[in-house]
Amino acid sequence: MKTEKLLAAGVLATPLFFVVALAQAFTKDGFDLREHMISQLAIGSLGWIQIANFLVTGALFALVAVGLRQGLTNGIGRVWVPRLVGVFAAGMIGAGVFVCDPYRGYPVGAAELMTWHGTLHGVCAAVAGLSLVAAIAILARRFRSERRTGAAVLSIVIAVVYVVLPVSIPALTSITFAIASFLAWGWVAVFAAGLRTEQVAEPVTGSRRLQPA
């Protein structure tokens, strides 16, 4: 598959995940986004929708990782950014395979027990999050080396927000975590989209250079 098509998967991944998740969050009885995590949508009736959401999103980011590996041929991050995005994708897939445990009364009436699959869900989510933060930090270094100061600063801000925001307001952890995730995932997608634009433009530029003056 061509690099630009692989990178285009990133444009779909983040909005797809949150549109599907929020559509469930506002329609499932007993689910309250102020108290319950998006992952809990995978439990109970029609939980397969959120499981599929995790799997598809993870697969899309896996395609992005391959596209980054092909498209990043030089500069800081050419090795580790694709790898870390790939680990993030694997973590998302793992979070879909291993369903989390009931929490704070959702699903309604479900016993709040710690299970092996719930523990593995947490591990996968943590690995995905740490990988994402590391990838964004490396992107900040890359932008700085390219003298793209604004992008470098924004990368650091997004990485810090991703780590700090979810724990800054305990009563709204679910909402703040969703917002932080949207920003971080979206930033990786924006970088992939920018690289895709370069990939599409390069052959055209190259063909023009070959034309006689």
Burial class (CB in 10 A: 0-12, 13-18, 19+), 50: buried
Q: What is the DSSP string of 117-164?
A: HHHHHHHHHHHHHHHHHHHHHHHHHHHHHTT-HHHHHHHHHHHHHHHH
Tokens of 70: 């092909």
Amino acid at residue number 81 = V
The DSSP secondary-structure symbol of 211 reads S
Residue 39: predicted pLDDT: 95
Tokens of 182: 């949207």
37 and 100 Cβ atoms separated by less than 8 Å = yes
Backbone angles phi, psi at 113, to 5 degrees: -115, 150
Residue 202: predicted pLDDT: 64
Per-residue pLDDT of the chain (213 residues; tens, 9 = 90+): 788 889 999 889 999 999 999 999 999 989 998 889 999 999 988 999 999 999 999 999 999 999 999 999 999 999 999 999 999 999 999 999 999 999 888 888 888 889 999 999 999 999 999 999 999 999 999 999 999 999 999 999 999 999 999 888 777 888 999 999 999 999 999 999 989 888 777 655 444 444 333
Residue 199: predicted pLDDT: 74
Count of other CB atoms within 10 angstroms of residue 182 = 15
Instruction: Find the Cα–Cα–Cα–Cα dihedral 20, 24, 128, 94, rounded to 10°.
Output: -100
Tokens of 185: 């995932």
Residue 103: predicted pLDDT: 87
* Cα-based angle 92, 164, 121 (whole degrees, multiple of 5): 25
Residue 164: predicted pLDDT: 93
Count Cβ neighbours within 10 Å for each residue of 79-107 and write b for 16 or more, e otherwise.
Answer: eebbbbbbbbbbbbbbbbebbbbbbeebb
